[in-house]
Amino acid sequence: MDQISGWVREAQAGNRYALNQLIDHYQNDIFRFVYYRVHHLTDAEDLTQDIFIQVIKRIRTVKDQNLFKAWLFRIASNRVTDYFRKKRLLFFIGTSADLESDHCETSENDSPETQIYKKEFTMRLKLLSKDLSKWEREIFLMRYIDDLDIKEIALILNKKTSTIKTHLYRALQKFKKHKKFRELLQTAKR
């Protein structure tokens, strides 16, 4: 039994320490997952908190402890979808002026140079990803930003692994056609 599965089992039995261990272990991954989709620090923090509230409420519904990570990221994916659904609704009724913000927030602990690199990387990634379909963009982000494997992505999105591979292949082909892609990779290595 690996450590994560053990924590899940114990959390399901009511062990708060195990639940806190799970939250601590996945908090940064979930925040990054959300942030790279909403591109707004405060919203990403709020959504991350909402996601873990759902985890606390629903931990007992996990059927296979070995699939906890996919279960968790599925909650995150659904919560991000709900967020954009709400944003679109607010946009259509005219109460959200910042729906398409190009603002990239950085941490206060980042050096000025790191802040510039983060902003440049996010801007280029956003620009390049506009050529991708919804699924290509989401799967690309899950694979290369969230560091999820193909099987986990398939479980999160409730799709076949062959479908995930196809979308990922198409996304990579589109990225490779852009000269800016190589520049983006160089920016990411800094």
Domain membership flag for residue 103:
no
Average pLDDT per 10 consecutive residues for the chain, totaling 190 residues = 89 95 96 91 93 95 93 94 72 36 54 70 69 85 83 91 92 76 55
Q: How many domains does the chain have?
A: 2
Dihedral sign from CA coordinates of 28, 37, 83, 104: positive
Per-residue pLDDT at 12:
95
pLDDT attached to residue 91: 45
**Distance between CA atoms of 144 and 154, rounded to whole angstroms?**
15
Q: Which residues of 161-171 are buried (b: 16+ CB within 10 A; e: fewer)?
A: eeebeebbebb
Residues 52 and 134 in one domain: no
- What's the pTM? 0.61
Is 83 contained in some domain?
yes
| Spatial separation of the C-alpha atoms in residues 24 and 75, rounded to whole Å | 17
Predicted pLDDT of residue 52: 96
User: Does any domain span residue 104?
Assistant: no
Question: At which of 95, 127, 159 does a domain end?
Answer: 95
127 shares a domain with 86 = no
Structure tokens that stand for 142 in this block: 């899950």
Residue 116: domain span: 111-190
